[in-house]
Amino acid sequence: MHPIHKPILTPHIRKRGIYLLPNLFTTAALFAGFYAIVMAMSGRYEHSAVAIFVAMVMDGLDGRVARLTHTQSAFGAEYDSLSDMVSFGVAPALVVYVWALKDMGKLGWLAAFVYCAGAALRLARFNTQLEVQDKRWFQGLPSPAAAALMAGLVWVMYDLQIRGEDIKWFAWALTLFAGITMVSNIRFYSFKDVNLRKSIPFVFLLLMVVAIILVSSYPPGVLFGLFVVYALSGYGMAVWDFRRGKPAPKTAEPE
């Protein structure tokens, strides 16, 4: 009798794909950051500033789209971090350098590098701190908010017809401030405990309408002012907690 040959069973290999929809938003954010650099090299600083704000919007959408469509992936998380480094790290540093800091010599490019390194270190800290205990707080200034400070400054000064070289020392100080604050332990409110799917007070809705009207009335000044207030809010809370003798709560990294 011939022996019965059993078929060789091979394990089922699951195809690893890349989800299209959320990565399209990430690619759009990456393109906006790259576009900001190109426009700065061409001297079109207003376009650079607007492109960075567009990158912020796209970056905020990709994660939410992935969660809503259940298309989260490790690839998407890594791709998002690399996109953030370009859009909120390299692009703002180069835009501000070309706009205001290039005539300051070593001081100028060192300040831009401090900002760029601060963004890289913050993203690295985000990638290594996966366990979140309190999602209400960020540790250090989020890189999109730091980028908004840089882009907002360029945008509002361009709108007021003030050249970057005329306020180069202010731009230099703000660049250092943003870079150092990103890697600090200062806590910043994350707004993650605001659930828009639940009922909200009428006053909150009214405030949202007022905010939209203000931003639409003068986008450069209002957006820059909002992010300046947000960047200072962390230091204000730190001083408040210190005076009360209250230890700072454990912070969380953005998702």
Give the pair of three-digit tokens for residue 121: 């270190």
Query: What angle do the packed helices 168-182 and 106-128 form, to 10 degrees?
Result: 20
pLDDT > 70: what percent of the chain?
A: 82
Task: Report the percent of the chain where pLDDT is more than 90.
Answer: 57
224 inside domain? yes
| pLDDT value, residue 250 | 53
- In 3D space, the residue among 60, 233, 221 whose CA is nearest the CA of residue 152 turns out to be 221
Q: Quick one: pLDDT at residue 189?
A: 85
12 domain residue, yes or no? no
Write out the residue range of the structural domain in which residue 97 sits.
20-244
Instruction: Give the total number of structural domains in the chain.
Output: 1
In a domain, 46, yes or no: yes
Q: Is residue 7 part of a domain?
A: no
Is residue 9 domain-resident?
A: no
| Residue 247 DSSP label | P
Residue 230, burial from CB neighbour count under 10 angstroms (0-12, 13-18, 19+): middle
Section 79-83 average pLDDT: 92
**Is residue 250 one of the residues assigned to a domain?**
no
Question: What integer is the mean pLDDT of 161-184?
Answer: 96
Q: At 189, which CATH number?
A: 1.20.120.1760
Average pLDDT over residues 196-210: 72
Token pair of 28 as six digits: 């759009």
47 belongs to a structural domain = yes
CB 83 within 8 A of CB 137: no
Q: What is the average per-residue pLDDT within 131-138?
A: 69
Report the chain's mean pLDDT, rounded to a whole number. 85
Assigned domain for 187 exists = yes
Region of poorest pLDDT, from 8-22, 75-89, 196-210 = 8-22
Q: Which residue has the higher pLDDT, 183 or 75?
A: 183
Say what the pLDDT of residue 18 is. 67
